[in-house]
Copies of this chain bind each other. A is one copy, B any other.
């Protein structure tokens, strides 16, 4: 059976006349006659009582056309729905973001994204890098924002902006008077995040290995870590976008003499079909953060 046949059927039911129905369908009358006959043979039911005057739908035909109408309109609904879905810059877009980035980046980019991509229904999802990559590979996310470097050949990514690290010190810390800090000087009393946070590993690496990181404290989140630093438990490195929050907590920030930092990327599956959406989102974020790397040293965005 064919949707075309059902359209023919409905046309003949409507016109009760093969010739006029054929004209309405844009085909010749013989075409319609043959196709209707085939349909009758297929379903084993005579659909029309033909005479030299007219083609009257049989009782059986009238019982069937409800279903025929349903099939045809469902097909039309597919076309109509597809038309709305056609724009890759519209629809749901599930974006994974790491926890050390989300609370500081989202407030900056939410409004610009809404303005630049009004049809895109952005759904942020916050989790650590490995969990995000798992969800991305499972098609549960459309793209992720990461601060790490590699994720495998099945994914591709685009760098968005560079984010410098800053030394975060309690106000009364011995190093607080210096204009810049050397990371290795922090190692003595540095505090880090819990396992799984990429920022933890980057902090450890910047400070020259994990030898000194023996403290019992592993902050579950960056805000907690900032509070601990403010309370004088130790020092840490923070990503530049968190500078505002750190200063609000009463923490002294100093640039690193090495200018160490991390690069934030947007990553997605290599086969993901809405690449245009990913790139548009990335572009808006990159534009909003343009020049951030320079300005961030002063603690501003």
Residues of A within 8 A of B (CB): 1-4, 6, 43-46, 49-51, 56, 58-60, 63-64, 67-68, 70-72, 74-75, 77-79, 81-83, 85-86, 91-92, 139, 154, 269-274
* Bound-state Cα–Cα, A271 to B56, Å: 10
Copy number in the complex reads 2
Pull 6 A–B residue pairs with CB atoms less than 8 Å apart, ordered by A. Answer: A2-B2, A45-B86, A49-B271, A59-B91, A64-B85, A68-B74
* Bound-state Cα–Cα, A99 to B101, Å: 91
For A78, list chain B residues within 8 Å (CB).
Answer: 1, 6, 43, 64, 67-68, 71
For A67, list chain B residues within 8 Å (CB).
Answer: 74-75, 77-78, 81
Assess whether B273 is in contact with A49, with CB atoms less than 8 Å apart.
Answer: yes
Assess whether B2 is in contact with A49, with CB atoms less than 8 Å apart.
Answer: no
Question: Which of B50, B64, B82 touches A44 (beta carbons < 8 Å)?
Answer: B82
* Bound-state Cα–Cα, A139 to B62, Å: 13
For A72, list chain B residues within 8 Å (CB).
Answer: 71
For A92, list chain B residues within 8 Å (CB).
Answer: 59
Assess whether B70 is in contact with A1, with CB atoms less than 8 Å apart.
Answer: no
Q: Given A51-B271, A74-B71, check contact A81 B64 (CB 8 Å).
A: yes
* Bound-state Cα–Cα, A50 to B269, Å: 11
For A85, list chain B residues within 8 Å (CB).
Answer: 45, 60, 63-64
* Bound-state Cα–Cα, A72 to B56, Å: 27
* Bound-state Cα–Cα, A274 to B56, Å: 13
* Bound-state Cα–Cα, A92 to B64, Å: 15
A81 to chain B, nearest CB (A): 6
A155 to chain B, nearest CB (A): 11
